[in-house]
């Protein structure tokens, strides 16, 4: 097992200490331990990097300058225009890819339903992520709170209906998970 191979400039060395049978390998070279005094000690900077939480609260990185924001927006628009032209050349309408508030809400709705295991992609088993579903539902609730008074009646209706449905689905799934199995009800296993 302890073999070295030279292929395309890389050296591969098997450094496992045990064989496949779990016995200590005899051909392992012991590497000298680095004395603890030789290990450099990292110093803690007085000011943490941007975005790092401190005991006083999260450190907020400085906002990009107006020029940086404009340059970034221009680069994004140019890149998006190039992608849109490729989509148009493939015979599709680039407008179908535009993000709208309703499409954003629909994506959160679908995400929550997938996380609750109530929807799944064709050919795949449903998977549950209750914590993720709760966070997605809380995101919808946060959007409802923060956008109050700023939505069209159609957007408001869509948001409230989506929030209602995913909350009800969450309650049903969590209640079903917390119920003990009923005696005499098949659980999918046989005692044979």
Per residue in 124-158, pLDDT (tens digit) is 888 899 999 999 999 999 999 999 999 999 999 99
Instruction: Return the top range by mean pLDDT from 1-10, 54-63, 94-103, 104-113.
Output: 104-113
In a domain, 139, yes or no: yes
Q: Do 87 and 94 meet the contact criterion of CB atoms below 8 Å apart?
A: yes
More confident residue, 68 or 11: 68
Which pLDDT score, from 0 to 100, does residue 39 have? Answer: 47
**What integer is the mean pLDDT of 19-27?**
70
Q: Are residues 91 and 132 in the same domain?
A: no
In a domain, 105, yes or no: yes
Q: Are residues 104 and 134 in the same domain?
A: yes
In a domain, 22, yes or no: no
In a domain, 5, yes or no: no
In a domain, 121, yes or no: yes
In a domain, 122, yes or no: yes
Range of the domain at 109: 99-178
pTM: 0.58
In the chain, how many domains are there? Answer: 2
């Amino acid at each position: 097992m302890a073999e070295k191979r030279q292929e395309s400039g890389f050296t591969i060395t098997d450094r496992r200490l045990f064989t496949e049978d779990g016995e200590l390998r005899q051909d392992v070279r012991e590497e000298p331990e680095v004395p603890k005094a030789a290990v450099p000690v990292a110093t803690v900077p007085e000011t943490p990097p941007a975005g790092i939480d401190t005991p006083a609260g999260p450190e907020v990185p400085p906002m990009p300058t107006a020029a940086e924001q404009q340059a970034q927006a221009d680069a994004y628009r140019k890149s998006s225009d190039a992608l849109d032209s490729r989509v148009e050349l493939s015979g599709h309408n680039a407008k179908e890819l535009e993000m709208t508030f309703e499409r954003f809400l629909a994506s959160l709705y679908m995400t929550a339903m997938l996380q609750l295991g109530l929807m799944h992609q064709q050919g795949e088993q449903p998977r549950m992520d209750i914590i993720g579903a709760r966070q997605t539902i809380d995101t919808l609730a946060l959007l409802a709170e923060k956008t109050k008074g700023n939505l069209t009646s159609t957007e408001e209706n869509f948001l409230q209906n989506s929030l209602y449905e995913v909350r009800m689905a969450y309650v049903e799934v969590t209640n079903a998970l917390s119920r003990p199995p009923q005696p005499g009800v098949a659980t999918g296993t046989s005692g044979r």
